[in-house]
Structure 1
Amino acid sequence: MERENMVKSVSRALDIITLVSMKKGGLGVTEIANQIDINKSSVYRILSTLVQYGYVEQDSETGRYKLGYKFLEISSKLLESIDLRAEARPFLQVLENETNEVIHLVVYDQGEVVYIEKLEGNEILRMHSKVGKRAPMHCTSVGKAILAHLPTSVVLDILERKGMPVHTDKTITDKETFQKELIKVKQKGFALDLEENEYGIACIAAPIFDHSGKVIAAVSISGPTMRMTEDRLNQLQSTIVHTGQKISARLGWDRGSGPMSH
């Protein structure tokens, strides 16, 4: 019974959101109650909850309810991720064709990276990554590529909140050593993960910037250490850096003004 009620209140809340969204000036409690045949106290309770979460807001002058800014926030996140995937896809495919290795596209979100695209390459490689999965920043090449372009205070906050857990015996777990590593990453324009996240796997990554020059994502090439030798990683440096720059340019980033110009 409780489950049924819960679903009913969710569907009622969604009905109310739909109604409110259709009227530019917003709607009052009575109007909503009349249109969806729920008593006024229930409508008011649902509206109060939606207001609390930012999905609906009340006009202080008219008392009417209208859509809240939370929807803008959600839709802009969705648009960003969809645009990024669509714009990056052709460049990721070129990388996959050229290298035959696993190609990742990740976005930065709340102190972690989230895989939003993975191209498998032609070689067989067992990796933990999959689209939608989150990964730590301190031991991944994509994470380092992003952290290198964030303010030091933000980096330290992430390390404080998330810690620097050991994934392999090559994971960097000392903050000072890690910060020195990030300085090098920023200077070079790319980051490496030499078995720091998973044994037997090495990765190279470059940051991706949006139109405002803010780092929002990263692209990487991953392969087994037997193929990803020092020589091969050296050869892949300019490839990955240029791929990051091309994707950034598609997002409106101007190389002359962005932090990637070096």
Structure 2
Amino acid sequence: MAKVAAGARPEKIDETIVSVERAFDIIGMLADSVDGFPLAEIARRLDLNKAIVSKLLNTLESQMLVWRDERAQRYYLTYRISNLGLRHLQTSRLLDQCSAALRQLAEETGELVRLAIVEPGGQRIVWVQSFAGSKRSLRIDPNYTLEIGLHTHATGKAWLSTLPFADALKLLMHQGIEASTAYSKTSISDIREELEEVARRGFALSYEENELGVGAVAAPILASTLGGAPECVGVVSLAAPTNRMSRADLESCGSFVMATTRRLGETWPLEARARSGAFPRMVE
């Protein structure tokens, strides 16, 4: 089957407020910055007039979401945005109940272990927690980028494998299926075949498909939601440098990751299930 054009996305919903979208674009930009940005650079990246960006930054500053270094004239993200996310997670007890199992897997393997959860509504999966094994000197940076590549990350594949392919395809098309490396799959038929294989064996592999020099294995967390049947509520992944773990080595770790996800699925907080409802709830 022919490849789908990268970045193919449905049209945006009309009922949106542009200024809110732009404010969150600024938050996302600053979240990825170590040294912050001056107003002019933010305006350039957003392709907006400086006066508009200045008003947006003043609003975010008044809400204590960003702060301005008066001497350097640069803007930085505050920790308030992180605090809001942590407060939300804390009320569901997700981190408390997952930490022990994730830490154990990281220490036993010596590698980076991450937890991603499916957002209410079933439209997005996001990183929320990570643990790195203490026995290794060479480690992978557990960066929390906003978007998980659904066809390139083992985490994305593990989640999509639990969905009907029609629903998985909608999510893929919304995000786009462009290649991250020369090893990324961009053919719908190839992606479908792999997702079917992931569903059969219970875990997904990604070997230099999302980032050169990095491989990962991931398995879905299946929990009985209040809707009844087990649904995917999150994914646990284990990542390692390819000079330390071959594809076969990572595949052999699949059973350990699956054991962790079974443990988490059995103890997934009821509060989180109540908030989420049945997964996935596709919104047209």
Q: For residues 214-253 of structure 1, what are the structure 2 equivalents within 5 Å? A: 214-251=231-268
- Tell me the distance in 1 between the aligned counterparts of 2:126 and 2:91: 11
Aligned partner of 2:192 in structure 1 is 179
Q: For residues 1-262 of structure 1, what are the structure 2 equivalents within 5 Å? A: 78=88, 82-109=92-119, 111-122=123-134, 123=136, 124-127=138-141, 129-131=142-144, 133-212=146-225, 213-251=230-268
Q: Is the 8 A contact 1:118 1:131 kept in 2?
A: no
CA gap 1:231/1:153 in 2 versus in 1, 3 angstroms: closer
Aligned partner of 2:28 in structure 1 is none
CA gap 1:234/1:81 in 2 versus in 1, 3 angstroms: farther
- Tell me the distance in 2 between the aligned counterparts of 1:6 and 1:207: 39
What is the aligned-residue identity percentage? 26
5+ residue gaps, structure 2 = 1-54, 64-83, 271-284
- Tell me the distance in 1 between the aligned counterparts of 2:59 and 2:263: 48
| AA aligned opposite 1:244 | T
CA gap 1:143/1:106 in 2 versus in 1, 3 angstroms: same
Deviation of 1:200 after TM superposition, in Å, equals 0.6
- Tell me the distance in 2 between the aligned counterparts of 1:230 and 1:171: 15
| AA aligned opposite 1:208 | I
Name the Cα RMSD after superposition: 3.3
CA gap 1:79/1:225 in 2 versus in 1, 3 angstroms: closer
Deviation of 1:162 after TM superposition, in Å, equals 1.1
Deviation of 1:209 after TM superposition, in Å, equals 2.0
Normalised by the size of structure 2, how large is the TM-score? 0.59
3-state secondary structure, aligned to 1:88 = helix
3-state secondary structure, aligned to 1:246 = helix
Deviation by residue 1:167-187 (Cα, 9 ceiling, x = unmatched): 100111011110110010011
Tell me which moved more, 117-126 or 181-190: 117-126
CA gap 1:81/1:104 in 2 versus in 1, 3 angstroms: farther
- Tell me the distance in 2 between the aligned counterparts of 1:172 and 1:6: 42
CA gap 1:80/1:6 in 2 versus in 1, 3 angstroms: closer
Rg larger for: 1
5+ residue gaps, structure 1 = 11-73, 254-262
3-state secondary structure, aligned to 2:183 = coil
Normalised by the size of structure 1, how large is the TM-score? 0.63
CA gap 1:132/1:170 in 2 versus in 1, 3 angstroms: closer
- Tell me the distance in 2 between the aligned counterparts of 1:215 and 1:81: 20
Deviation of 1:218 after TM superposition, in Å, equals 0.3
| AA aligned opposite 1:125 | R
- Tell me the distance in 2 between the aligned counterparts of 1:246 and 1:115: 19
CA gap 1:118/1:6 in 2 versus in 1, 3 angstroms: closer
Q: Is the 8 A contact 1:210 1:252 kept in 2?
A: no
Higher relative contact order (CA 8 A, sep 6+): 2
